Structure formats: structure tokens, C-alpha cells
Amino acid sequence: MLTDLLMMKIGDLEIKEMPLFLAPMEDITDPPFRRICRRLGADVAVTEFVSSEGLIRDVAGSLKKMEFSEEERPVGIQIFGNQVDSMMNAARVAESANPDFIDLNFGCPVRKIVNKGGGAALLRDLPLMLKITEAVVKSVGRPVTVKTRLGWDESSKPIVELAQRLQDTGISALTIHGRTRAQMYGGTADWTLIGEVKNHPAIRIPIIGNGDVVDGPSAKALLDQTNADGIMVGRASVGNPWVFREIRHFLQFGAEMPEPPLEERIEVCRQHLEESVAWKGEITALLEMRRHYTHYFRGLFNFKPFRMRLMTTTNLQEVLQILEEIKEKYLP
């Protein structure tokens, strides 16, 4: 059927052709930011990664990370851990929140996760990774997906064989970040092996490409090189949720969109701020918003005095006043 050609499927979940995914990022992809990215063109959102141990112990912070609104659908809950039983139980808890799919984090490179045996640490123990994945797939009724990397380091990049073995466990889609754990987020993403996985005759599940997609041209380059079924965008969305709209426009028309006007940037930043305060409280929201400000207002001449104030104030009304001052200074 023609509709099948125009849809990507994760299990029984149908998503539009060539979907754009918002990557899971700790303290960034909370519900307010996910909603904004969905409004601006992201087709699928994934939660911040949630500790399996936190979920099965009813840790409040972990449970809160699973919450989402209907506006965010389709949405996946991502969990991490290195114990089979804990991951199975956590997946069942996640399933009770009624997400569209459950994602397993086997790619996070940060030390605090890896040192606990989670995230990319599983790239050094593939039998355990596969055992966890198979157990989770069997323990829940939702589609299960995996996000991982090419391998641990330059001497160990098993992703082509690993993808086939993960597929055999019953997962419904695989996202591949084109770096090793040793690279962290440095250097350049290598999309070659993503293409080898996608174009391997044994691969039947959707393959989602991730790494160094920052705009329309880089998204098209990844697709041209890999033939991936979808694209996941992470760091390029921070303070720049318009990246999804811009990528979609470029893929459809082959031309780059103008930057969003400053008035829109200020308004979206304000919405993001106020929704974050409502979600997690004033102090936490103001601290976490700081990583977004520079990107929301990139390119403004002599912006440093405003940036310094935004990065130091711990009062919502003061930040709102600063946004008004930015509007007065830079808009005609």
C-alpha cells in the first residue's frame, strides 16, 4: 500500500515519513522543552534518560521524568541500567505510564553513567546488552527501541553485527550515534557504519541516524550517505528548537529558512522559561535554562551584558524584565 511507503513504523506505531526525533538529554528534554520542539517540527520526542534503579525504588525524581502530556505524542520513555531484573522491572513501570515506546540507553558516554555500568558501558559487554534487551522486549507489550554508538573506541566498532543481534531480540527500531564512547561528543561523527547497518540485507527494522546533524544541509548529507529511516537531533536543538522546522523545510524544498525573527525567539524563550518554572520550580528551572540562553539569542551584537545577567539571576521576574529589555534594545 502507498501509505506503508509514506510511514515509518515502530512496532504498530505509525510515524510520518522521515521523522525527526528529539534526542533524550538529561536536564534538557523535560516536558516543557519537548512540547516546544514538537510545536516547532519535531515528530517524535524521547524523555530524559531515567535510572532503572530509581524507577523500581519509586524515587520521586525518576518517576517525574516519565511524566508527559498528550501534546508530546508520539513519545518514548528512555531507561538505563545494567541489571537484567532491574531493567525488566523498570520497563514495566515505564509501560504503566503509557508511552508509545520504551527506549534502552546503551549509548550515553558520560562518566557518572558509564562508571555505574550503564549507557555506553554495555558496549564492553555485548552479551549482557543483548540479554537485557531480550528480557525487556519479552517483559512489556510496548515496542522497545535501542539507542547506542558505533562501539567503545576505534579498536572496537561492532555496530554492524550488533545491530543484527539486537534486531533478533525483537526490538522495533535502532538509533545509532556515529561516534564511539571514547570520542564522547568530540571530533566528527562517522556516518559510514550507520549506512552499512541500514543497507545491510539482514536489517528489517528502522534505523535512525544521530550525530552532527545541526541544520538542513547536514541532515540531508546524513540521509544521502546512510539512507537512514529517520534522524535524531540532540545538542543542536538546545536553545534552538527551530532546528526541526528548518530541517524539514530543507528536506522538502532544498533551501535554508531564514533565522527565526528575534521577536519569536524572545517569545519562545519566555514560554520555555515559564513552563519550566511551572514544571520544576523557580530555582531549578532558572538554573537549567541557562544552557539555552546563549543559543536563543545567538548573533545579537553586544549581547554579553544581557547574557551575564541571564546567567546569574535567580529570580523569575528579573529574567522576564531582562527579556523585555532585550526586546526594547534590539527590536525597532
Report strand pairing: 7-10 vs 173-180: unpaired
Instruction: Note the CATH architecture for domain 2-253.
Output: Alpha-Beta Barrel (3.20)
| pLDDT less than 70: residues of the chain | 1-6
Exposure string of 261-271, with b = 16+ CB inside 10 Å and e = fewer, is ebeebbebbbe
Could you tell me where the beta strands, DSSP code E, fall in 218-296? 230-233
Whether the CB-CB separation of 178 and 193 falls below 8 Å is answered with yes
262-330 is classed CATH 3.40.1130: no
Predicted confidence at residue 189, as pLDDT, reads 95
Predicted confidence at residue 61, as pLDDT, reads 79
Domain boundaries, the chain: 2-253, 262-330
Predicted confidence at residue 2, as pLDDT, reads 35
Catalytic residues: 108
DSSP string of 113-170, one letter each residue: HHTTT-GGGGGG-HHHHHHHHHHHHHH-SS-EEEEEEEESBTTB--HHHHHHHHHHHT
> Where does residue 140 fall: left (phi above 0), alpha (psi -120 to 50 degrees), or beta otherwise?
beta
Residue whose grid cell is 528548537: 241
Q: What tens digit of pLDDT does each residue of 37-79 get?
A: 999 999 999 999 888 887 777 777 788 888 999 999 999 999 9
CA distance 253 to 231: 17
| pTM for the structure as a whole | 0.94
The grid cell for 127 is 552479551
Q: Do domains 2-253 and 262-330 have the same CATH topology?
A: no
DSSP string of 206-232, one letter each residue: -EEEESS--SHHHHHHHHHHH--SEEE
Residue whose grid cell is 534486531: 167
